[in-house]
Amino acid sequence: MIIKNVSLETVCGITSKLPENIHPEVAFAGKSNVGKSSLINGLMNRKSLARTSSQPGKTQTINYYNINDEIYFVDLPGYGYAQANEHVKAQWGKMIEDYLHKSKQLKLVFLLIDIRHAPSENDRIMYDWIRRNGYDPIIIATKLDKINRSQIQKQVKLIRTTLQAGADTQIVPYSAQTKQGREEIYEILDGILAA
Ligand code: GDP
């Protein structure tokens, strides 16, 4: 995939109606600080178009990036701020649930997990939630540059076992710093565009 042009086309708040896009959508989910903005910026070849995820209490939005007028990257609100109040947590859940239920163009969900740690309870809930909505998420194991090469396989296995994901679940290690893993993700996106 070659990125020609990108723009932030739609920002949806809790009360917004989701756009009825004609192009396929791929969504990015993950806990706050996992590296979601960095990944989306890296894929789009932009330094800071995707903003670093919201602080606790701040408005949560679903952001649609139009890529080449052929596909959308859908940035879902990050989860897992322990200190977020109940209202924010409930809003967050409703937004994601709505999106997974209602989007007609959603083809694939990427779930981001920090490669350094075992997936958290929230990560497991999110993984199950995506699956219950009929999608088989591809896991992006972020911050690859923060571990030794010799640790990669062990950490990937830890992610797989903790999520109870099958051998067919794809796990792609990625570094926003070195862009390792980016070609593999582009190939996955090419597959969606060719479908
Ligand atoms: P978000 O909250 O999920 O959108 O996370 P961000 O993309 O804002 O990243 C959170 C922090 O982790 C920032 O300080 C990033 O610079 C850092 N970060 C994200 N991805 C990587 C990575 O692949 N390698 C390293 N070393 N740091 C990363």
Give, for all 195 residues of the chain, the pLDDT tens digit. Answer: 999 999 999 999 888 899 999 999 999 999 989 999 999 999 999 988 887 655 554 568 999 999 999 999 999 998 876 566 777 777 788 889 899 999 999 999 999 999 999 999 989 989 999 999 999 999 999 999 999 999 999 999 999 999 999 999 999 999 999 999 999 999 999 999 998
> Domain limits of the chain?
6-194
| Under 8 Å between Cβ of 177 and 169 | no
Q: 6 in the Ramachandran plot: left (φ > 0), alpha (ψ -120 to 50) or beta?
A: beta
Does the Cβ of 33 fall within 6 Å of ligand 1? yes
In this prediction the pTM is 0.95
Does the Cβ of 133 fall within 6 Å of ligand 1? no
- Fold classification of 6-194 is Rossmann fold (3.40.50)
Cα–ligand 1 centroid distance for 37 (angstroms): 7
Which two tokens mark 176?
A: 């926003």
CA-closest candidate to residue 145, choices 116, 105, 122, 165: 116
CA-closest candidate to residue 130, choices 192, 76, 72: 76
CA-closest candidate to residue 129, choices 171, 82, 76, 178: 76
Kind and range of the H or E run holding 40: helix 36-44
ipTM over 0.90: yes
Burial-class residue 82 by CB neighbours within 10 Å (0-12, 13-18, 19+): exposed
Kind and range of the H or E run holding 162: helix 152-163
Give residue 12's pLDDT. 93
Cα–ligand 1 centroid distance for 75 (angstroms): 15
Give residue 161's pLDDT. 97
* φ, ψ (nearest 5 deg) of residue 74: -110, 115
Residue nearest to atom 22 of ligand 1 (CA): 143
Atom of ligand 1 nearest to the CA of 40: 7
**Cα gap 125→139, rounded to integer Å:** 14
Beta strands in the chain (DSSP E): 6-12, 25-30, 62-67, 71-75, 106-114, 138-142, 171-173
Cα 45 vs. chain centroid, distance in angstroms? 17
Atom of ligand 1 nearest to the CA of 174: 23
